[in-house]
C-alpha cells in the first residue's frame, strides 16, 4: 500500500538557544532538515513528503535540493496541529498509511524505517520506533517520589506509522477534547487503537539541546 510521509518542521526549537530553528542548523554541510529528508527518501516505498513549515519561515526557500516529491504545508501552534494540517491534504484512499518523522531526527537508519513499515503493514496496526530506557528511572521534582521500574519503559522515537484515516480522526478528536499530545502514537492510544513498539536504535536522537549537535554529527559520520 502507498505510504504518505509527513515531516513536521514548524517548531522554533527554543531549547536549542540557537539563532535559527534547529532543523536549519548545519551538520556536515547540510541542514538537519535536509539530512532527515534524505534519510526518508532513501526508502523506495516512500515517494511523497508533506513538509509542515512555519508560516513565516524565511529559511526553507534558501535550501537547494530536489523538491519534486515535496509538498509544503502550513505548520500549526503545536506539533499535533502541524501534523493534522498536513493530514488534511492527504487522501486516505490514495495513501492508506502515513509515516510521520521529526525534521529534527537526522540520524534515523533506513533499515529501521523498513522494519517499522514491515511490522505495521503485516499486522495492520500502527507503530512507533522505540528504544529501551537504560537508566534507573525516578519520578518526582526536588526529591524522589518513587523509582519507576524500567522493565517495560521505552523512549518513543520517530518515524511513527499509522493508517491515515485513523490517525486523522484520532488527532481531530484529541484536539477537540483539549487533549495535548507530544507524538502521534499518544493520540492513537487515547483513541483506543493498538500501537506496536518496534525496536530501533538509540542514536536516532531528536536534536533538542546544544550538546546534541556534536553527537548527531558523530552519529552521522558512523552511518555515512
Ligand atoms: O519541539 P519538538 O522537539 O518536540 O519538535 C518535534 C518536531 O515537531 C520538530 O521537527 C519541530 O519542527 C516540529 N514542530 C512542528 N510544529 C510545531 C512544533 C514543533 O512542526 N508547532
Q: Using 50, 70 and 90 to split pLDDT, how confident is the model at 12?
A: confident
Residue in the block written with cell 537504560 = 134
Residue nearest to atom 5 of ligand 1 (CA): 11
Just give the CATH number of 3-223: 3.90.550.10
Question: In this predicted structure, what is the pLDDT of residue 47?
Answer: 83
Give the number of other CB atoms < 10 A from CB of residue 199.
Answer: 14
**Residue 15 confidence (pLDDT):** 85
Distance separating the N- and C-terminal Cα atoms of the chain: 29
The residue assigned the cell 518523522 is: 101
What is the mean predicted confidence (pLDDT) over 124-145?
97
The CB of 73 under 6 Å from ligand 1? The reply is no
Nearest atom, ligand 1, residue 7 CA:
10
| 166-200 per-position pLDDT tens digit | 999 999 999 999 999 999 999 999 999 999 999 99
pLDDT band at 65 (very low <50, low <70, confident <90, very high): confident
Instruction: Kindly report the number of other CB atoms within 10 A of residue 201's CB atom.
Output: 16
Q: Whose CA is nearest to atom 11 of ligand 1?
A: 11
User: What would the mean pLDDT of 34-54 be, rounded to a whole number?
Assistant: 95
The Cβ-side half-sphere exposure at 183, using a 13 Å CA radius, reads 22
| Of the candidates 212, 210, 185, 218, the residue with the CA atom closest to the CA atom of residue 18 | 210
52 C-alpha to ligand 1 centroid (Å): 9
Average pLDDT, rounded, for the chain: 96
Whether 51 lines ligand 1, by a CB cut-off of 6 Å, is no
Report yes or no on whether pTM surpasses 0.90. Answer: yes
The pLDDT of residue 52: 98
Alpha carbon of residue 16 to chain centroid: 17
Residue 93 to residues 46, 76, 98: CA-CA distances in angstroms? 16, 25, 11
What ipTM did this prediction achieve? 0.96
- Contact (Cβ atoms closer than 8 angstroms) between residue 47 and residue 149: no
Helix H or strand E encompassing 108? none
- Nearest Cα residue to atom 4 of ligand 1: 182
In whole angstroms, what is the distance from residue 8 CA to residue 11 CA?
8
Would the pLDDT of 224 be above 80?
no
Q: Whose Cα sits closest to atom 14 in ligand 1?
A: 11
pLDDT > 80? residue 90: yes
Amino acid at each position: 500500500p502507498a505510504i504518505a510521509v509527513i515531516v513536521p518542521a514548524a517548531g522554533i526549537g527554543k531549547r536549542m538557544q540557537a539563532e535559527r530553528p534547529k532543523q536549519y542548523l548545519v551538520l556536515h554541510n547540510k541542514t538537519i532538515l535536509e539530512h532527515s529528508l534524505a534519510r526518508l527518501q532513501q526508502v523506495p516505498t516512500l515517494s511523497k513528503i508533506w513538509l509542515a513549515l512555519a508560516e513565516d519561515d524565511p529559511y526553507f526557500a534558501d535550501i537547494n535540493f530536489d523538491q519534486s516529491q515535496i509538498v509544503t504545508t502550513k505548520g500549526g501552534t503545536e506539533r499535533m496541529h502541524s501534523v493534522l494540517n498536513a493530514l488534511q491534504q492527504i487522501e486516505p484512499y490514495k495513501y492508506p498509511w502515513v509515516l510521520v518523522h521529526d525534521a529534527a531526527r537526522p540520524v534515523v537508519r533506513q533499515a529501521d524505517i523498513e522494519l517499522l513499515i514491515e511490522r505495521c503493514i503485516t499486522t495492520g496496526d500502527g507503530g512507533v520506533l522505540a528504544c529501551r530506557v537504560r537508566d534507573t528511572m525516578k519520578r518526582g521534582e526536588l526529591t524522589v517520589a518513587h523509582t519507576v521500574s524500567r522493565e517495560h519503559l521505552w523512549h518513543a522515537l520517530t518515524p511513527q506509522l499509522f493508517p491515515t484515516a485513523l490517525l486523522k480522526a484520532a488527532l481531530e478528536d484529541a484536539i477537540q477534547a483539549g487533549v495535548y499530545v507530544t507524538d502521534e502514537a499518544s493520540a492513537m492510544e487515547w483513541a483506543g487503537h493498538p500501537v506496536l513498539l518496534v525496536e530501533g536504535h538509540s542514536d536516532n536522537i531528536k536534536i533538542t539541546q546544544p550538546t546534541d549537535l556534536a553527537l548527531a554529527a558523530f552519529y552521522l559520520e558512523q552511518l555515512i
